[in-house]
Structure 1
Amino acid sequence: MNDAPLELPEVGWMGSARLTAGLDRHQRLDLAAHARTHQPLRQLDREELLALADAVALPGRGGAGFPFARKARAALAAADRTGAPPVIVVNGAEGEPASAKDKMLLTRVPHLVLDGACLAAAAFGAEEIVIAVTAGSPGEISVPAALAERELPCQARTLCLPERFVSGESGALIRGVNGLPVVPSPLKSRASDGGTGGVRRRPTLLSNAETWAQLAVAARLGPDAHAAVGTAAEGGTVLLTVNQPNGDPLVVEVPAGIRLGLVLDACGLRPGAGVLVGGYHGAWLPPTDAVDVPLSRAGLADRGGTLGAGAIVALPDGTCPLGEIAQVAAWLAAESAGQCGPCKRGLPAAAEALALLAAGAAEPSALEDARSALGAAQGGGACSHPDGTARFALTALDVFAEDVDAHLAGPGCGRPVRGVLPLPRANGARLEVDWSRCAGHGLCAVLAPDLVRLGPHGYPTSTAMPVASWQEHGARRAVSQCPALAIRLRHRG
């Protein structure tokens, strides 16, 4: 393997260490260490593997939680119908700033992920295995090194995707594998059916890196031993990324159904002002609910939450909740692919309304404007990005209602924004307004309607707007045609 040191996410576990087994003794499990840590993996035929996935009720661990067995049966039915062998895809393109579990798996225990993918490839007669990782991530080094160490049931390759939030969306990932721009497909199609939604139009079985690792664990343990931890409905363990203020994230393996308060205590954290569960497409819980909520899909759903990709952030009392939320909302709006109305108009409008609320400069209608924009973004997007962003922001407005009232009533809550919610280093471009020159012509809002909105007096409502790649054309037009030369486009990075 390359001699350059890998960035190795910190790991912990509560109770049974399954996915994290061996990491108390090894920084990374190469094939030899993997073989010493895990018992040999018995090969399963098609029906045996499907029966196992049914017996353990394995859900997808990438966020949606779609049952693995149903997805596999759909891909196999398409393969039988068309005569085209399926393609196995491992989704390790983790563009979620609050999540590090897939990075941990592909960096520290890559053979466990490959075990699951190879098990399915052999059982289902796959044509190829594709492991998608984020460009520049440790997986770009670790995965090819692991592939070179082992025998494979079919050809396999590593694909590097851009470090963007939408790169991990299944349709965007498949487009990337097919050599197309890595953005969600404008037409809804299932990868398992093949055709335009699959790799090279083949039936495609795509699952998250943790799902493949969990499949390998279940195959070694069998259904009964697998169910020895967890709940009756959701057996086994769950990988969480617990974000620590001013520290690196901690990836923790816990039994499904464990109380969130126990996990926070073990990590030295308190619920603070509120707890985000599920990452930036997840939901906020008030501290009183967060302590006792079980970390299972059903348990979180009962409290209006979602497990999502398992990312957790406890917001300390010493930071401004609205300022934190507004920063993430602006980043999420800029991370969209800009292909549909909710992403082009709804998310930027909501981000701007939240920024005004956070600044204590909002009109009385700002809260309703934000809720209206977020509500309109739900249910109509080309992918789940608008829905997830709306859930993140709307639950925040409910959990931090007292802070919202304080910002509407005056200059704000008085607390600084400490940047507790993790975001990538700022890069890209921003459209900036020079108030000493702006004369309120309003032409910028006509030329770049997805970026610039005007207040009641005809002036832009924001002095600095993040510019997504799909917005740059409109931004440049606004800069070049502003009669007062009051707008400039600044690039960072």
Structure 2
Amino acid sequence: MGTPRLLAGLDQIGRLDRVAHLTTHGQMPRYRPDELVDLAENIDLRGRGGAGFPFARKLRAVMRSARDRDGQTAVVVNGSEGEPSCLKDKGLLLHAPHLVLDGALLAAAALNADDVVLGVTREDVEQSLREAIAERGPAGRRTRVVRLPERFVTGEGTSMVNGLNGGPTLPSGQKVRTSDRGLNGVPTLLSNTETYAQLAVAARLGALDYRATGLPTEPGTTLLTVAGATVVEVPTGTPLPYVLELCGMDPGQGVLVGGYHGRWLSPGAALAADISRGSLASFDAVLGAGAVLPLPEDTCPAGEVARVTRWMAKESAGQCGPCVRGLPSLADVLEDTVRGGGRNALETIEARMRAVRRRGACSHPDGTAGFVASALASFPDEFRDHALGSGCGRRVRGALPLPEDENPERLVVDWTLCRGHGLCVDILPDVVRLDEDGYPAQASMPVPERLRPKALRAVRRCPALALRIQD
């Protein structure tokens, strides 16, 4: 939308190697440390990984800590993006890796950092970065890429640093700032992929030209992932409905912004919102990591929310009670509500959310509870109807993207017992197909996680007891 900056050149070539990158963006200018801090401050550069922390403050914090620690520093690029609804950082690292490296090396030069480390979780992203580092030749600094486990909590700051230091990739639960002690125990500048790419763009344009696009109060562009599939670059201030329209979508039943720790916008709010911190804050929402997820009319909101909550419970770091017990319990009661949990089901959900809030070692329980609370407020009739047993009559289409299960459970048919009653296909039409004789066409069928409750129902209701769930 408009002239691309981060995605410049990608309309001509699928991946910008070193030569194509320099042809598109030009050489990187040099900046003194104070000049780089001033640049980041003048354009109000903020972290694009979710928290939106001012980048200039991070730079100053690392510089202050370094003065007290013999000047040693490091730079870390958080390229994990464990949020299934986000692809923007993966897009940059796969297609424009040199822009990210430019920003990281520019910051490293300002901090006089010896180490630049990129933490990623995907094999193809790791390979793209290794190729880019090789294309650049000796950079005068130790630049390396480290592959970490692909989990939601990998992107948490202390979790990433722990993993890069050779420990478990889990949140520490301690309030330790990476600017004080990060990689190998030295003051570390840690920010996400898009933030470093924005820094590289701004360094070439200068503050004045960078501010020529977007809002005066929030200059520049930002990357969005729409519906978990399409990455777009938009100037800040772009109307949200215009973004959806150009992607062939509409607000549907509502729009989730900020991912699975985000908030729901009603269709009316989505039509009135634009892509900016100020606009979204007026609807009690944040852009977070740039996920924009419209919910189509043909899917069940309550079922979609329960499905995501179950996945979030499984992504727990497993280190504290609110995650280990609280989130699975919240997922249980949500699934029970979708199946018709009774009049007290909604009160039970509220109780489960209260039990995990502000008690976790990291923000994962709070973020998940906030996602559920926002859904209850946005779809009250849906949850009430499901709790009372009437439901909405719509299937769960998987509109909120989740990773595919590499080893899904399977619905297995015992041919010695099956009599072809056909109840299984009535309950599980997305899994079971009948052959021309009216029997299941396959003896073993994968069951997606979101359909597990229906698979269990099919097992219980089979008159011939011919079905079972198998790992």
TM interval, short-chain normalised: 0.7 to 0.9
Conserved? CA contact 2:29–2:203, under 8 Å: yes
Deviation at 1:406, TM superposition (A): 1.3
C-alpha distance in structure 2 between counterparts of 1:127 and 1:100, whole Å: 30
Kindly tell me the number of residue pairs found equivalent between the two proteins. 416
Trace 1:65-214 onto structure 2 (pairs within 5 A): 65-136=52-123, 138-150=124-136, 151-194=138-181, 198-214=182-198
Match of 2:463?
Answer: none
* CA deviation string 1:86-129 (max 9, x = no partner): 11000001111100001000000000000000101111100200
Poorly superposed stretches of 4+, deviation over 6 Å: none
Check the 8 A contact 2:255/2:270 in 1, yes or no. Answer: yes
TM-score using structure 1 length = 0.82
Output the amino acid matched with 2:402: L
Corresponding position of 1:423 = 402
C-alpha contact (below 8 Å) 2:346/2:384 kept by paired residues: no
In structure 2, the partner of 1:333 is 313
Offset from partner CA, 1:33-80 (integer Å, 9 cap, x none): 001101221110111101111111100000011111111111111111
Output the CA distance in 2 between the equivalents of 1:94 and 1:428: 22
**Rounded Cα–Cα distance in structure 1 between residues aligned with 2:240 and 2:110:** 37
> How many angstroms does 1:153 deviate by?
3.6
How many angstroms apart in 2 are the aligned matches of 1:60 and 1:142?
A: 23
What percent identity do the matched residue pairs reach?
A: 51
1:377 Cα deviation from its structure 2 partner: 2.0
Structure 1 gaps of 5+ residues are 1-13, 433-463, 467-487
* Inter-partner Cα distance in structure 2 for 1:308 and 1:18: 20
Shift of 1:281: 1.1
How far 1:428 sits from its partner (Å)?
6.7
Pair 1:409-2:360 in alignment: no
CA distance in 1, matches of 2:357, 2:267: 26
Within 5 Å, give how 1:312-351 maps onto structure 2. Answer: 312-351=292-331
Tell me how far apart the structure 2 counterparts of residues 268 and 76 of structure 1 sit (CA, whole Å): 46
Counting only pairs closer than 5 Å after superposition, residues 184-263 of structure 1 correspond to structure 2 as 184-194=171-181, 198-243=182-227, 249-263=229-243
Residues 298 and 379 (structure 1), Cα distance of their counterparts in 2 relative to 1, 3 Å cut:
farther
Letter in 2 for 1:282: G
Q: Are the counterparts in 1 of residues 342 and 388 from structure 2 also a CA contact under 8 Å?
A: no
1:380 matches 2:359: yes
Following the alignment from structure 2 to structure 1, what is the Cα–Cα distance between the partners of residues 219 and 346? Answer: 41
In structure 2, the gaps of 5 or more residues are: 412-446, 450-467
1:398 matched to 2:385: no
1:124-167 C-alpha deviation (Å, 9 max, x unpaired): 1002000011143x211100100111142411110001111111
Matched residue type, 2:184: R
Is 2:339–2:389's contact at 8 Å kept on the other side of the alignment?
no
CA distance 1:135–1:23, change in 2 (3 Å): closer
Cα contact 2:45–2:56 (8 A) shared by 1: yes
The CA deviation at 1:237 is 0.4
What is the distance in 1 between the residues matched to 2:281 and 2:350? Answer: 21
* CA apart distance, 1:429: 8.5
Match of 2:37 in 1: 50
Whole-angstrom distance in 2 between the partners of 1:345 and 1:489: 24
Q: Does the Cα contact within 8 Å between 2:327 and 2:365 map onto a contact in 1?
A: yes
> Counterpart of 1:193 in 2: which secondary structure?
coil
Q: Contact between 1:99 and 1:241, CA under 8 Å: does it hold in 2?
A: yes
Q: Secondary structure at the match of 1:143?
A: helix
